[in-house]
Structure 1
Amino acid sequence: MTRSLLADLDAVLSIARMGSFRAAALDLGMSTTSLSNAIAKLERHLGVRLFNRTTRSVSLTEAGQNFVARVSPAMTDIHDAMLAAQSLQQIPMGTLRINTYASAAREVMAPLVLSFLQRYPQVHIDLVTEGRLVDIVAGGYDMGVRSADLVPSDMIAISLGMPRRNAVVASPDFLSTYGHPVVPSDLYRFRCIRARLPNNALLRWGFEKEGSAVQIDVQGAITLDEPSLVRIAAMSGIGLGYIMESDVREDVAAGRLVTVLDDWTPKLPPLALYYPGR
């Protein structure tokens, strides 16, 4: 089997997985035109059409479905064999694709990702952040980083053990003007910075103390969908913000932000690095 044919088979599987020539081309690091030409050449070689293509959609033909069903396990075995052989190299190299979400990426960037690159400079890391939990196998990722309680049960997980929790923060001027909340229910009297989750739902602020848990649907003048913007708004005195402690640790240390309700913000499950058994 030639290297070119292997690449063509990977291209077929990528298109089938992504449902789009454009997305597959980005995944494979090639132009859409080159990918289309490669598939057309393979179809001519096989004598059958693998994909039904329109300007708006791509779907497998019946022949394509049968082809992918038989080729996919074989390609998995081939890539596993290649990875096993490459693992015997003294110097790791190649591309490592990691899926996580933005706040977790910020937590692991320095202690995990950058230190790994410094140790193994011939490895290229492709780090993709998404708010939703994805199937890393279907998405073509080598591993993921998520909260340990969200890792699928069929994955091998390694706890990263980093202490984590949320924090309620505000600027010193805001607290000087409006005072400090003492218990979570006090938040109803304060202007807060609302946050929107990737599924478009509003984040409810979660608290717990001595076995008593409560969630607060805060109100405020602004709703944001990115933690870095919540941080900026809080430092600007817009209101109280609810954000990962790791995202504002330097600001708190420098006095730009102050934490409140510390005794009501419990520890969160640690992050875990996870990957499929194969």
Structure 2
Amino acid sequence: MVIPGVAELEAVQAVARHRGFRAAAVELGMSRSALSHAIAALEERLGVRLFHRTTRSVALTQAGEQFVADTAPALRDIRAAIDRLGDHRATPTGTLRINGSAGAARMIMKPVILEFLRRYPAMTVDIVTEGKLVDVVLEGFDAGIRLAEQVPQDMIAIPLGPDLRFAVVGTPDYFAGRPLPVTPGDLARHRCIRSRLPSGGLYRWEFERHGETVAIDGSGPLILDDPLLMLDAVRAGLGVGYLAEWHVAEDIAAGRLLRVLEDWTPPFPGLCLYYPGRRHLPPGLRALVDLVRELGGGR
């Protein structure tokens, strides 16, 4: 009887999860060709085709779907056993895979991730940034970092820091000769640097004061999908921007940017580290959670 090894089973699960060899190979830390050869060799030994392959797509065969479903529970048990074995090490080792937005990754890099790596030099942190929200379990991540409102309800969430605020800003030169906006509706007379969501739609600037909420579709000469590019455009005097406060705090303090409508931008719950609820955490993830709590994030 042909009994595949754990590495081969992990390879099958990764290809099935990503529905392709390229992303699965990146996750497994091997070349695409090596992964393809490994899967083909396993299929030959088993005498069963697990995947339909074309030049454009990879899909499980009926036998492959059954094989993936049958082996997934055993692999989870094996991973858990290895994780528990890691408890006996003096310090955690291995790779911690985290998914989050680019902005979230920038916010936690210095205060959290760099400190984590200083304390646990045997660990590797693999951060994948993307705008769209992904299923961290399905995509093979240990944890995610998103705004609290974006965290799925079935996840355990640990706050990563204080509440956040947005800020409407422009340069002193831009506002010279223009009336400062007093209400969100006044933005209709200003050039707004707009932001595009990962879904493709345009983000509506959200405001709230004394229980009144307003969403503004501004107009302007530029639409961007990256907050740092938006900040560059605002600094250049092209118009006003609606950006996270932490992006513009230094510019405001230095007088390079003026903030308006501050009373219309109340704080809201900030970033969270989140992960699936399970009885045993991998040592690396547990160490990261403990560090977040120590630094004051887990209130």
Give me the TM-score of the superposition, normalised by structure 1: 0.95
Contact persistence 2:104–2:145 (CA under 8 A): yes
Specify every segment of 5 or more residues in structure 2 that has no aligned partner in the other structure, as ranges. 279-299
Contact persistence 2:162–2:269 (CA under 8 A): no
Q: Counterparts of 1:59-98 in structure 2 under 5 Å?
A: 59-98=59-98
* 1:125 alignment partner in structure 2: 125
* 2:213 alignment partner in structure 1: 213
* 2:266 alignment partner in structure 1: 266
Mapped partners of 2:117, 2:252: distance in 1: 29
* 1:40 alignment partner in structure 2: 40
CA pair 268-54 structure 1, distance change in 2 beyond 3 A: same
Matched residue pairs, number?
Answer: 275
Once the two structures are overlaid, the 10-residue window that deviates more, 171-180 or 63-72, is 171-180
Mapped partners of 1:78, 1:54: distance in 2: 32
Deviation at 1:88, TM superposition (A): 3.0
**Residues 224-267 of structure 1 deviation map (CA, whole Å, 9 limit, x = unaligned):** 11101110000000000001111112222222222111111110
Counterpart residue identity of residue 204, structure 2: R
Identity of aligned residues (%): 54
Mapped partners of 1:171, 1:212: distance in 2: 28
**Residues 113-165 of structure 1 deviation map (CA, whole Å, 9 limit, x = unaligned):** 11111111211111111111110000100001111122111111112232311
* 2:152 alignment partner in structure 1: 152
Q: Is 1:184 matched with 2:184?
A: yes
SS at match of 1:246: helix
Counterpart residue identity of residue 27, structure 2: D
* 1:193 alignment partner in structure 2: 193
* 2:237 alignment partner in structure 1: 237
Where do 4+ consecutive residues of structure 1 move more than 6 Å?
none
* 1:27 alignment partner in structure 2: 27
Counterpart residue identity of residue 188, structure 1: A
SS at match of 2:246: helix
Give me the TM-score of the superposition, normalised by structure 2: 0.89
SS at match of 2:177: helix
Mapped partners of 1:197, 1:115: distance in 2: 31
Mapped partners of 1:136, 1:21: distance in 2: 19
Counterpart residue identity of residue 79, structure 2: H
Specify every segment of 5 or more residues in structure 1 that has no aligned partner in the other structure, as ranges. none
SS at match of 2:112: helix
Mapped partners of 1:177, 1:120: distance in 2: 55
Query: What is the RMSD computed on CA atoms of the aligned residues?
Result: 1.3
Mapped partners of 1:33, 1:5: distance in 2: 19
**Residues 163-203 of structure 1 deviation map (CA, whole Å, 9 limit, x = unaligned):** 31111011111112323111111100111111111111111
Mapped partners of 1:261, 1:156: distance in 2: 35
Counterpart residue identity of residue 25, structure 1: A
Deviation at 1:55, TM superposition (A): 1.4
* 1:52 alignment partner in structure 2: 52
Contact persistence 1:196–1:202 (CA under 8 A): yes
Q: Is 1:7 matched with 2:1?
A: no
Deviation at 1:270, TM superposition (A): 2.1
